[in-house]
């Protein structure tokens, strides 16, 4: 889960307005009363400050490296830095095979008369055996937007999103239709056990109303200017949570969006851009098998983290201090990570139990922006990747110059205690992520860096008690 050029998009003005509706999916017909705060005190853990440095080399030597040039990969340049386009996806199929997919250079294909959201791009996919780097399978996919396109499943299969459909693929890159949506699908989130799927999609716009003969109050649609037709474009973003096995809808809500100065007929281009920039991340729910997370404002730079059950009940997990809208992500059914903006600069990474007990807390450098999380399937290991700037992050809206970026850094933590198991650079820079993967066991980490996929063998992660 990225498209604007602001250093801290979550701290800037929201140009794509949500039209007076709650920013979370709700069960049909159920009121969303916020439960009272529990009377007991929340657990407090010491804050640990991570060193302010950019790693010039990994903290551990890689076990082996797979060169990427023979796989057909070549960097696309710094043009994409700050645009949050998903250009790559690196994933473990199992302990000894990687699925590596990446956008390939070439002319953009566009049908005559189409708006920008119809641009096509080509993505090459290869299944690579480890450690020899041999290509076992390969394919070329045609995709039609810029957001994340691939999600790994825990059984070695994967989901490929494009347009209004999801396909499921296997290690031989054989694809079969999985799900179809009545509109453009923008994003997918799954619970750690992958029983539930949260989606958001944009239904097709309603057909323009035609003038009725003799009705002087109805102007023919063809006679309207483009500005008149688009001056009050209000697409609906549908947020739907599904049971992956049965396909049953568990939650659904519609978010009314007002898009100023649209360049696409249905508002898709603007909505996609808002999603990529993080402006719609509050409708991309983090879920586990029985609940989802809400972050609710509770004063200036104060927030409540609320856990809402699909049954309709809720529980406040705790207070969060943050100068931006904090993010919260389940990394297992039992644990979640909260990423907040520390008031003195940098990120505050907090681990909580699903019941609200704080487990550990880390403070990062004030030079880091755009943190992204990648977890192991069992939730025992998690990687955070960030861009590191040559200067402290400053609030406000101002363009990001690629020359401001020192590089991209990866930290791998044990989820049980926050211990850093690996710190490494990643290059080239991909601000939308996709260049880091953790194996099913949590003992292997792959990082795209310095012309190769560096694979690290780590000790077994600390068990969660």
Does a structural domain hold residue 213? no
- Residue-wise DSSP of 364-376: --TTEEEEEEEE-
Least reliable range by pLDDT among 117-126, 164-173, 210-219, 407-416? 210-219
Does a structural domain hold residue 318? yes
Here the CATH number for the domain that contains residue 299 is 2.130.10.10
Least reliable range by pLDDT among 50-54, 145-149, 206-210? 206-210
Q: Residue 331 — pLDDT band, cuts 50, 70, 90?
A: very high
Number of H helices, E strands in the chain: 2, 29
Closest among 117, 93, 60, 83 to 2, alpha carbons compared: 83
266: pLDDT strictly greater than 80: no
Does a structural domain hold residue 400? yes
What span, in angstroms and rounded, lies between the C-alpha atoms of 351 and 358? 6
Average pLDDT, the chain: 82
The DSSP letter of residue 227 is H
Residue 223, exposed/middle/buried by CB under 10 A (0-12, 13-18, 19+)?
A: exposed
Q: Rg of the chain's alpha carbons, rounded to an integer? A: 22
Does a structural domain hold residue 263? yes
Does a structural domain hold residue 222? no
Each residue's pLDDT tens digit, 71-88: 999 987 777 888 888 999
Closest among 133, 156, 9 to 71, alpha carbons compared: 133
Closest among 116, 52, 45 to 361, alpha carbons compared: 45
Least reliable range by pLDDT among 285-289, 377-381, 391-395? 391-395
Q: Which domain holds residue 88?
A: 9-25+48-205+230-457
What span, in angstroms and rounded, lies between the C-alpha atoms of 91 and 324? 30
Does a structural domain hold residue 465? no
12: pLDDT strictly greater than 50: no
| Residue pair 119/59 in contact by the 8 Å Cβ criterion | no
Q: Residue 178 — pLDDT band, cuts 50, 70, 90?
A: very high
Does a structural domain hold residue 181? yes
Number of domains in the chain: 1
Q: What is the pLDDT of residue 403?
A: 84
How many Å from the N-terminal Cα to the C-terminal Cα in the chain? 30
Does a structural domain hold residue 464? no
pTM: 0.85
270: pLDDT strictly greater than 90: no
Average pLDDT value for residue range 366-393: 92
């Amino acid at each position: 889960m990225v498209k604007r050029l602001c250093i801290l998009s979550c701290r800037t003005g929201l140009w794509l307005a949500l039209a007076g509706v709650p920013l979370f999916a709700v069960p049909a017909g159920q009121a969303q009363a916020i439960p009272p705060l529990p009377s007991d005190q929340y657990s407090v853990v010491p804050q640990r400050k991570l060193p302010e440095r950019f790693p010039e080399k990994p903290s551990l030597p890689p076990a082996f490296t797979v060169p990427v040039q023979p796989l057909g990969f070549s960097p696309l340049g710094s043009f994409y830095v700050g645009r949050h386009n998903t250009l790559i996806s690196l994933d473990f199929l199992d302990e000894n095979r990687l699925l590596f997919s990446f956008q390939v250079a070439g002319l953009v294909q566009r049908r005559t008369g189409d708006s920008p959201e119809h641009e096509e791009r080509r993505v090459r996919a290869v299944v690579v055996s480890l450690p020899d780097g041999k290509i076992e399978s390969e394919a070329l996919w045609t995709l039609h937007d810029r957001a994340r396109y691939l999600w790994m499943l825990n059984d070695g299969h994967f989901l490929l999103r494009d347009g209004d459909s999801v396909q499921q693929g296997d290690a031989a890159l054989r694809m079969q239709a999985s799900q179809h949506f009545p509109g453009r699908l923008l994003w997918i989130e799954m619970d750690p056990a992958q029983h539930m799927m949260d989606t958001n999609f944009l239904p097709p716009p309603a057909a323009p109303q035609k003038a009725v003969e003799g009705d002087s109050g109805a102007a023919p649609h063809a006679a309207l200017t483009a500005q008149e037709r688009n001056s009050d474009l209000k697409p609906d973003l549908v947020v739907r949570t599904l049971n992956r096995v049965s396909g049953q809808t568990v939650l659904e809500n519609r978010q009314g969006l007002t898009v100023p100065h649209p360049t696409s007929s249905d508002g898709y281009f603007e909505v996609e851009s808002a999603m990529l920039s993080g402006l719609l991340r509050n409708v991309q729910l983090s879920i586990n098998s029985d609940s989802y997370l809400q972050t609710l404002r509770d004063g200036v730079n104060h927030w409540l983290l609320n856990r809402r059950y699909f049954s309709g009940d809720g529980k406040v997990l705790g207070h969060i201090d943050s100068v931006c809208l904090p993010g919260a992500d389940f990394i297992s059914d039992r644990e979640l990570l909260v990423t907040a903006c520390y008031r003195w600069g940098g990120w505050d990474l907090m681990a909580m139990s699903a019941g609200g007990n704080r487990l550990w807390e880390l403070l990062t450098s004030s030079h880091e922006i755009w943190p992204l999380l990648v977890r192991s399937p069992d939730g025992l290991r998690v990687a955070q990747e960030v861009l590191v700037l040559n200067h402290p992050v400053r609030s406000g809206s101002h363009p990001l110059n690629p020359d401001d970026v020192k590089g991209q850094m990866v930290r791998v933590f044990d989820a049980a205690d926050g211990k850093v198991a690996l710190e490494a650079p990643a290059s080239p820079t991909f601000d939308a992520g996709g260049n880091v993967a953790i194996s099913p066991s949590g003992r292997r980490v792959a990082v795209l860096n310095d012309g190769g996929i560096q694979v690290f063998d780590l000790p077994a992660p600390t068990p969660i008690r």
